[in-house]
Structures are given as structure tokens and as C-alpha cells.
Amino acid sequence: MWRTLQRIFVITVLAGGLVTGCGERPAARDFQQAVRQFERGELVRAKSLFEKSIDRRPGHEINAYAHHYIGYIVWQLDDPTLAVVHFENSRRLKPTLFEPVYSLAVIAFEEDDIARARELFRDAAQLKPSDPRPFEYLARTHPGEAGRREARSALYEALERAPQSPRILTALAQVEWVIDDAPSAVSYLMQALEHDPDYPPALYNLGHIYAHWPDQEEDAIEYFNQYLAVAPETERSESARRALARLKGEEPEPDEIETAEVEAPSPRVRSLDDILADAEALADAGDVERAVSLSLRAAIQARQFRLAGQEERALLKAVELGPEDARSHIALGRHLAARDRHEDAVTAYQRATELESDWAHAWTGLADAAEALGDYDVALDALNKAVALEPDNPGPLWSLARLYDEAGVRRRAQEAYERFRERFGDDPRAVRAEERMEALQPDAPTQPRPETAPAPRPAARDAQAARDAYRRGASYQQRQEWDNALFFYRRAAQLDPALERAHYNMGLIHLERRNFREARDAFARSVELEPEKVSSLYNLALAYHEMRESQSALSHLDAALRINADYAPAHLLLGVIYAADPDTLNRARRHYERFLALRPDDPAAPAVRDWLARN
């Protein structure tokens, strides 16, 4: 697995070295210019600018996003074949990017390549654990009664990711209706309307179901009328009118339950200004809830396409249009906290909790922001409320125990850790909870050991436990469940401090998450334990390079080449570092040429050849 991650990061750092020594800013300027044209609807011009940006800087990470934009544009221009080419290029340049994989899956689905679509949707679901759409589409690949079990399972997965989604609840109702379980279908539709009282598919479907139930004509008429009030000109409007006519004694044409549509990545991408203008119009018309939803959707689009400053603009618009809507304040708080503006984030979260005191995620967000500010009283109070609201969620209780521990509130910390161990014994953190309970005993001995001290060999029992923890960490790492993987790797390293593989794999995860200081520390420990391991020296150099500590990076790359003079990644990274300085271009040339001799077919090779041709 480290080879795959290594290649991803090699391509990333290569781009920095090929921008003629000026860093990321020229690439960002060109890319943003293309994005602005795209936002204005000048698609042909945007496509041309994206293509120029790619041609000037082949191999640059930002090209993954440029290819994705071009894919959208040509898809809108009804050329799905060319769109696939660009989405594949985007995926090749940044394998961890969700959007191109999801877009490829949608195209495969639309072209009835169901086996390929299912594979891609599953890949997309792993890349973005918060997005329900891949599972919604997977459900659609299992139509009818024969596929109800698989469809239901996929929709349950989607619902875990978006518990309040009317669309998913309506899709589940459709599955139940297919197998003639009308009561379950009605239950799901009622839940959908609890979250969006004007959701058209749910209104239509309830009207349709009640129209076929004995003695429910009045309910059917009510729901069909509500549907026509919110959706007077849709594909189903005429069907609803015919159903109303039947309920009044006329003979209708047969109709079907409305299919709950899945939000596919439409080729018709609208500009942020257009979306926010629509939101303002909705607010002016009195539909504040939908106005806020639209503004929040605009913020998500801005974040996905890396539109600098536009995400916050959309979030502030959501707060402006819906000052009494907790969703807007939560989204703004999350955005501000991610940018270390914790004081403003606390204000936003506090407003959200005033509006919706029973939303646990608002309290946990408040706790995180308050903790970052050092306001433990606010953080602890918020976590206690979150635990009371969601007693079956291990996250708030673990955070509460940890925060009591860090604040030195020993008795409360012990109690919280004990509750966590009792309620969530299968959680990987339960082992850590038990350890902290023992350590917090008043007579618990403390035996500090300097980090630089030689690691003693563990007892046989601990060595076996360390290997078991390592295997569990590796299993989680393969599934990209980084937090669980890190937990078990740390556990393995505690039990056997000389287990080099645990430190090495922790470094890979930190590189993947771009936590470069943590990656540096992990690989440094790996090198201490196994000084001749070339890949550890290289990854340590890569972490230093990302931290802009070039001399340390050069020192470790030289050490790697002294052990293995033909280690191609080291030559490539040396080329990148030297290419950034006009005084060392000759050194860059030598290392790039050596890299090409060793890896002529590497994905980074075309960019290297282009640099050599221009320098």
C-alpha cells in the first residue's frame, strides 16, 4: 500500500517543482480564471483555459480538478465518451478524489453498464463516507421485487449518511410499495414530510397510496392537492390531476408511484450567483427553509470546486436569509472552525444551540470549537448535553472522557471512561479507556520514559498483543478507516516500542491526511529503528519537503541514495527540490534524467520530460 501512497505524493510534489520555482500561485491563478469563466456560463472559454492550464503544468495536482471541470463541460455538451476520458484523467492524477469516480459511475449507469456502475459506486462510497448518493444509485441498480433486498440494504447505508434525507426515505417507501407493504411505505413517506413538508415526491406518493386504499379518499385528495400546490408543472402533475378526477367519480388512466429521483451530477452546472439569486427569491416569497437549503447547497458546490472565498459567502447568505434556521449557523460554525477561527465558530454554534437545543451535532461542534479556544467549561457543558441527547453514540462520550482527563478532573474522567467501556466495549477506544482508568487511580505509579530512550523488548504476551493490534491496524488501513488504523498502530507501538512497521504505517496515514509533522515524527522513529530502510528515509524527506524544510529533505534523500543509488523516487524528489531554485537547475536535470532512466513509464515521466525540454 505504501507504494500507491508514495506515487500519489510524488506526483503532488512534482507539480510544485515544475512551476518554474514560483510555487503554487501561478497555477492557482490560471485555474481560478478558468473557474470564473465556468461560473459565468462561458463554457467553451472555460474549457480552453482549463486545457491551457493542463498543458502548461502537466502532472500538477490541480489538473485533477481541471480535468473534472472539462469532463462536466463536455458532458453538458452531450459527449459522454470524451467526458469519461477527462474523468479518468482526473482519477489518475488524484485517486482519492470522489467526484470523478462518482461521475464515471453515473455515466456507466446511464449507459446501462450496471456491473461497472456498481463497482464505481462502491469505490466512490469509500472515498467520501459522508455522501449518500453512491448508495442511492446502487439501490437503483437493483430494481423491482427481485432486487428489493439489495436495494433496501443500499438505501439503509445511504440513510446512515443522511438520516434526514426526504429523498432517501421516499426511495425506501418505493421499495416497500413494490413488495406491497403499504404501511411501511406510508411510514417512510411521513418521515420524509417531517423533514420537508413540501417534498413533492412524498406528497404524490402518499396521494397515490391512499387513492388505492379503501376509505382513504379524503387523505388522497388532500395529498394530491398539496402536491399540485408545490409542483403544478412537473411530469407527475397530469397524473395527479387524473387521480383527483377518479376520486371525484371519473374513470382515470392507470398511474404509477412516482420514482424518487437521485441527485446525479447534472451536466447543467449553474453558477453560484444564480443559485444565491434563486435563494433570495425564495426568501422574498416567504419560503425561508428552501432558501437556506439552496444557499447551503451553493456553499457545498463552492467547497467542491475550491472557489476561494465563495463558500463563506454562500454560508453568510444562508445566515442572512434564515437567521432563525439552525442549519445555517451550524454550517457556518463548521466552516469557521476548519479555518481556526474558533471564537467566531463558538458564536455560530451557540446561536445554533439556542435555536435547536436537541441537535447533538450542534453541541459537539460547539465543544470542539470551545476546546480549541481553551474554554473547557463551555466545552464540557456542551459535551454533557450531546451525551444526554445521543446516549448510543460513542463519539461525544469519548470526547467528554478525554476532555475531563486533559482538564485534570480525575474522578469525572474515570467515570466517563468507565461508562464508555461498559457501553461500547467493541469500540477500539475501549482498550484505551481501560488503560486511562487504571492510570487515573490515586496510587497509580508513574514511570516517565524519555522518548529517546532505547525501546525495551516486550514480554512474550505483550509482543503477541502488539502483533495482533498491528494486524487490526493494517486491516483498517486497507479499508481507509484512518482513525481506527491509527488507534491500533499506536496500541501496537505502546506494547512493542520496537515494532518499526507500526511507526512506518502511521507515517503513511499521516501523509495521506497531509498531517506532515505527525508523518515526520512517525518516519523519524521508523528510521531510528531501521536506519537502512530506504523507503522510510524517502518518506521522511517527503514530509520535510511538504513542511518547506528543504535542507532536512535533501539530507535524508542523500542518505537514501547512499544505501540504494537506484531508488527512483528519491531522484524524482531531488529533481523537484532543485528545480525550484534557478541556481540548482543543473542538479535538477541530472536527477530527472536518472529518474527517467530508472522509471521511463512512471505517470510522472511525461511532466519530467516536458520540464527537461523547456530547461
Q: Look at residues 273, 265, 313 and name the one whose alpha carbon lies nearest to residue 40.
A: 273
Of 178, 198, 218, the position where a domain reaches its end is 198
Q: Both 237 and 367 in a single domain?
A: no
Q: Both 309 and 383 in a single domain?
A: no
Say what the pTM is: 0.43
Q: Both 119 and 214 in a single domain?
A: no
- Pure H helices in 322-359: 326-338, 342-355
Structural domain boundaries enclosing 55: 23-198
Q: Could you give the CA distance from residue 552 to residue 570 in angstroms, rounded to a whole number?
A: 14
Q: Both 190 and 208 in a single domain?
A: no
Residue 559 lies in a domain: no
Q: Both 185 and 211 in a single domain?
A: no
Q: Look at residues 462, 464, 460, 512 and name the one whose alpha carbon lies nearest to residue 485.
A: 512
Residue 257 lies in a domain: no
Q: Both 135 and 237 in a single domain?
A: no
* Contact assessment for residue 142 and residue 154, using Cβ atoms and an 8 Å cutoff: yes
Q: Both 42 and 183 in a single domain?
A: yes
* Three-state SS at 232: coil
Residue 358 lies in a domain: yes
- The upper half-sphere exposure of residue 551, i.e. CA atoms within 13 Å in the direction of its Cβ, equals 0
What per-residue confidence (pLDDT) applies to 347?
92
**What CATH number has the domain bearing residue 119?**
1.25.40.10
Residue 75 lies in a domain: yes
Q: Could you give the CA distance from residue 470 to residue 499 in angstroms, rounded to a whole number?
A: 9
DSSP 387-452: HHH-TT-HHHHHHHHHHHHHHT-HHHHHHHHHHHHHH-TTSTHHHHHHHHHHHTSTT-------TT
Of 390, 420, 447, the position where a domain reaches its end is 390
Residue 245 lies in a domain: yes
Mean of all residue pLDDT scores within the chain: 79
Who contacts 437 (Cβ-Cβ below 8 Å, separation ≥6)? 414, 417, 418, 421
Neighbours of 232 (CB within 10 A): 10
Which residues in the chain come in under a pLDDT of 50? 1-26, 252-269, 444-458
What per-residue confidence (pLDDT) applies to 5?
25
Sequence-separated contacts (24+) of 599-603 with Cβ below 8 Å = 599/568, 599/572, 602/7, 602/568, 602/572, 603/7, 603/11, 603/59, 603/92
With 0-12 CB in 10 A as exposed, 13-18 as middle and 19+ as buried, what is 609?
middle
Q: What is the CA 322 to chain-centroid distance, rounded?
A: 26
Q: Both 71 and 53 in a single domain?
A: yes
Q: Could you give the CA distance from residue 36 to residue 383 in angstroms, rounded to a whole number?
A: 42
Q: Both 374 and 299 in a single domain?
A: no
In the chain, how many domains are there?
Answer: 4
Scanning the structure block, which residue is given the C-alpha cell 463516507? 129
The share of the chain scoring above pLDDT 70, in percent, equals 85
Residue 385 lies in a domain: yes
Residue 608 lies in a domain: no
Q: Both 76 and 215 in a single domain?
A: no
Q: Look at residues 96, 90, 117, 35 and name the one whose alpha carbon lies nearest to residue 301.
A: 35
DSSP 294-328: HHHHHHHHHHHTT-TTHHHHHHHHHHHH-TT-HHH
Q: Look at residues 117, 16, 68, 36 and name the one whose alpha carbon lies nearest to residue 304.
A: 68
Q: Both 99 and 139 in a single domain?
A: yes
pLDDT digits (tens, 9 = 90+) for 108-167: 888 888 889 899 999 888 888 878 889 988 888 888 777 778 888 888 888 888 777 888
Q: How far is CA 379 from CA 266, 278, 390, in A?
A: 41, 37, 16
What per-residue confidence (pLDDT) applies to 523?
92
Q: Which three cell numbers stand for residue 201?
A: 415526491
Residues in the chain: 615
Q: Both 128 and 214 in a single domain?
A: no
pLDDT digits (tens, 9 = 90+) for 417-451: 988 888 887 776 778 888 888 888 765 343 433 33
Residue 405 lies in a domain: no
What per-residue confidence (pLDDT) applies to 196?
80
Q: Could you give the CA distance from residue 409 to residue 562 in angstroms, rounded to a whole number?
A: 52
